[in-house]
């Protein structure tokens, strides 16, 4: 295909049921992948250290480019695809505009740190080498987990970056200058043609580039990646832009937006083996086929942070069981959930919340799992599966709070129902058979039942006896309350006489689409402190999220349900400019 014909073509192209323990693990695993996706947006917000006050708030009101044009070069089987739909310097302007005068110096340092990490190793500066010509769209993709598909040679992933050009001659001049500098430094260059485009390759490293139709600059870590990209652009049935999963998901996502993130679960597991294998779980290849296996995340900006709308598509050959929220969750239940707990959820069916979390659970890298807290550790006390049985029995309105670390201060409040009462009765028989005894006491003048046992342990005097408490239950205004400690029970009962004010995050969700099946809220500073979350050094995809993690305050998720083809939810990342990396 000639360049002219190619230009014409481009112009015309358009769970399973979970208990509390499993939900706790899912919440832990939910945080990082979505933080990384939003962090990639900030990763690209480089350069322009002087604030240019040319309507930066337009990115909030109108968003960036509505539709990506670079996905024609991305193979549809790609594991992860991140498209930024606004120039990085525009994002930097907005970030600085929103910050207070005292915070701007710190933000400039963070941006400089990112530029040093991402561009300086190649001898590039965003302001000098990219900003004069780069367009409103940049896409980065993991197109292949292993280019040669040979397990004996190890994994050689294929990475592709596509930049649109608003000044093609300037882009070409910058590209030629870059390769001239590489040659002067001793790099051997090779040249070839593919589909009418000129490929330049650094023989020592495999770094390859090509400029297509004077509109798209493609950069890859291997020339084969560029060849695949050019072939994909010529065959619409092989690229992501015309993939039915992408088009179906995109139609369900709102605008405006500043970015899109496409996630292929099978590709991610191949790219990062073990990413989808939490302790005690089989890989996706050895489990029943998942309900959903591909998703699209639309990122928008607000004055308070990043709004992410998520659409997950059904696995080919599977049909989802449709359900949707019929009424807003009973937010009054939050009066009885201790506000100090870092993880809080409210909804009408706990299993429906698990359906939202289940696909996201597989996105957590292995190194982020250390320090996972116990929540309500009944599986430890009463045997595996206890939490799953409790979760399956909660089929009415519920409020849930969980903690992390070594404490067991979780609390679950649910409407009494025949199914829930039967579950509690079955559990009572099970735990009594294991030696746990039920005793009665009063907390806040409310009758409470506790499951406990006496444990002998060494002491200063020789041998002592202490009472070990697994859980406490109480009836409260027609609800069944289950907590992991007497302290949590006391905090939950206190609002009965002195109602607590509604959490501030509820004000955020009131402006969202309604009704939602469930809301989930996470207090990130508490979680970060309790889990001692550390970003692994020198790994680009993880390290790029560091600025966002340092500014992240809260995460709030709304689950909206699913059709026979799509599962939808919304996640809000509330940010502040308070701390440096």
SS3 letters for 35-83? HHHHHHHHHCCCCCCCCCCCCCCHHHHCCCCCCCCHHHHCECCCCEEEE
Ramachandran class of 561: left when φ > 0, alpha when ψ lies in -120 to 50, beta otherwise: left
pLDDT band at 155 (very low <50, low <70, confident <90, very high): confident
Question: Has residue 189 got a pLDDT over 70?
Answer: yes
Which residue has 């708030």 as its token pair?
A: 57
20-56 residue pLDDT tens:
344 444 444 444 444 444 444 444 333 332 333 345 7
In degrees, to the nearest 5, what angle opens at C-alpha 194 toward C-alphas 188 and 200? 20
- Interatomic CA distance for residues 466 and 283, integer angstroms: 41
Rounded distance between C-alpha atoms, residue 337 and residue 498, angstroms:
13
Distance CA 43, CA 82 (A): 11
CA neighbor of 76 nearest in space, from 228, 285, 194, 224: 228
Task: Write down the pLDDT at residue 41.
Answer: 42
- In degrees and rounded to multiples of 5, residue 496 shows phi and psi of -60, -35
Q: What is the pLDDT of residues 111-127, one digit of tens each?
A: 888 888 888 888 899 99
**Is the model more confident about 353 or about 186?**
186
In the block, residue with structure tokens 């292949």:
144
Q: Of residues 56 and 273, which shows the higher confidence score?
A: 56
The mean of the pLDDT values for the chain is 79
For residue 357, list its beta bridge partners.
none
Residue with tokens 């080498």: 129
The pLDDT of residue 314: 93
Q: What is the pLDDT of residue 406?
A: 56
Query: What pLDDT score was predicted for residue 55?
Result: 55
Per-residue pLDDT of 538-571, as tens digits, reads 455 555 666 677 788 999 999 998 999 999 999 9
Cis peptide before 515 (omega within 30 of 0): yes
Report residue 209 as tokens: 């580039």
Separation CA 115–CA 180 (nearest Å): 22
CB 406 within 8 A of CB 372: no
**Percent of the chain predicted with pLDDT > 70:** 78
- CA distances (Å), 395 to each of 348, 392, 415, 468, in order? 7, 7, 9, 29
- DSSP secondary structure string for all residues of 430-475: HHHHTT-EEEEEEETTEEEEEEEEEEEEEETTEEEEEEEEEEEEEE
φ and ψ of 80, to 5 deg: -145, 130
pLDDT at 501: 62
159 phi/psi in degrees, rounded to 5 = -115, 140
pLDDT of residue 279: 35
Look-up of token digits 């050959």 = 317
- The pLDDT of residue 546 is 67
| Cα separation, 483 vs 470, whole angstroms | 9
Phi, psi of 288 (to 5 degrees): -60, 150
| Phi-psi category of residue 84: left, alpha or beta, with phi > 0 → left and psi -120 to 50 → alpha | beta
CB 492 within 8 A of CB 479: no
pLDDT single digits (tens) 361-398: 666 555 444 433 344 566 666 777 777 788 788 888 89
């Amino acid at each position: 295909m000639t360049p002219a014909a190619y230009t014409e073509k481009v112009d015309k192209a358009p769970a399973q049921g979970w208990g509390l323990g499993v939900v706790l693990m899912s919440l832990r695993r939910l945080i990082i992948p979505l933080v990384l996706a939003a962090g990639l947006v900030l990763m690209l917000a480089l350069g322009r250290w002087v604030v240019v006050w040319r309507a930066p708030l337009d990115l909030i009101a109108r968003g960036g480019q509505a539709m990506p044009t670079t996905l024609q070069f991305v193979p549809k089987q790609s594991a992860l695809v991140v498209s930024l739909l606004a120039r990085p310097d525009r994002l930097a302007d907005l970030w600085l505009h929103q910050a207070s005068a005292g915070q701007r110096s710190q933000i400039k340092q963070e941006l400089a740190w990112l530029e040093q990490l991402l561009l300086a190793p190649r001898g590039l500066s965003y302001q000098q080498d990219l900003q004069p010509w780069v367009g409103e769209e940049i896409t980065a993709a993991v197109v292949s987990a292993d280019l040669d598909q040979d397990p004996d040679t190890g994994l050689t992933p294929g990475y592709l970056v596509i930049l649109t050009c608003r000044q093609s001659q300037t882009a070409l001049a910058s590209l030629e200058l870059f390769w001239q500098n590489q040659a002067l430094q001793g790099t051997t260059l090779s040249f070839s043609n593919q589909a009418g485009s000129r490929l330049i390759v650094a023989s020592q490293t495999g770094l390859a580039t090509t400029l297509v139709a004077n509109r798209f600059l493609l950069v890859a870590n291997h020339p084969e990646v560029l060849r695949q990209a050019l072939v994909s652009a010529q065959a619409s049935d092989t690229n992501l832009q015309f993939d039915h999963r992408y088009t179906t998901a995109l139609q369900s996502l709102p605008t405006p937006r500043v970015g899109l993130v496409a996630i292929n679960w099978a590709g991610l597991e191949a790219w990062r083996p073990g990413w989808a294998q939490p302790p005690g779980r089989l890989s996706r290849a050895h489990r029943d086929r998942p309900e959903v296996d591909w998703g699209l995340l639309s990122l928008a900006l607000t004055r308070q942070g990043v709004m992410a709308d998520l659409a997950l598509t059904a696995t080919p050959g599977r049909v989802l069981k449709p359900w949707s929220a019929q009424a807003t969750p009973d937010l009054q239940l939050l009066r009885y959930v201790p506000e100090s707990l870092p993880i809080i959820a409210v909804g009408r069916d706990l299993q429906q919340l698990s359906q939202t979390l289940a696909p996201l659970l597989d996105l957590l890298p292995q190194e982020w799992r250390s320090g996972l807290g116990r929540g309500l550790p009944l599986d430890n006390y009463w045997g595996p599966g206890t939490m799953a049985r409790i979760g399956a029995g909660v089929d009415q309105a519920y409020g849930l709070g969980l903690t992390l670390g070594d404490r067991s201060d979780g609390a679950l409040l649910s409407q009494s129902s025949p199914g829930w009462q039967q579950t509690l009765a079955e559990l009572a028989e099970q735990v009594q058979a294991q030696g746990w005894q039920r005793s009665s006491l009063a907390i806040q003048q409310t009758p409470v039942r506790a499951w406990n046992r006496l444990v002998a342990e060494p002491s200063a005097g020789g041998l002592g006896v202490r009472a070990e408490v697994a859980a406490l239950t109480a009836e409260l205004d027609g609800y069944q309350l289950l907590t992991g400690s007497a302290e949590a029970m006391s905090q939950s009962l206190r609002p009965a006489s002195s109602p607590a004010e509604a959490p501030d995050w509820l004000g955020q969700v009131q402006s969202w689409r309604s009704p939602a099946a469930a809301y989930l809220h996470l207090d990130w500073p508490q979680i970060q402190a309790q889990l001692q979350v550390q970003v692994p050094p020198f790994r680009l995809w993880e390290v790029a999220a560091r600025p966002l993690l340092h500014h992240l305050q809260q995460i709030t998720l709304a689950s909206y349900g699913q059709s026979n083809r799509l599962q939808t939810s919304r996640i809000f990342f509330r940010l502040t400019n308070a701390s440096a990396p």
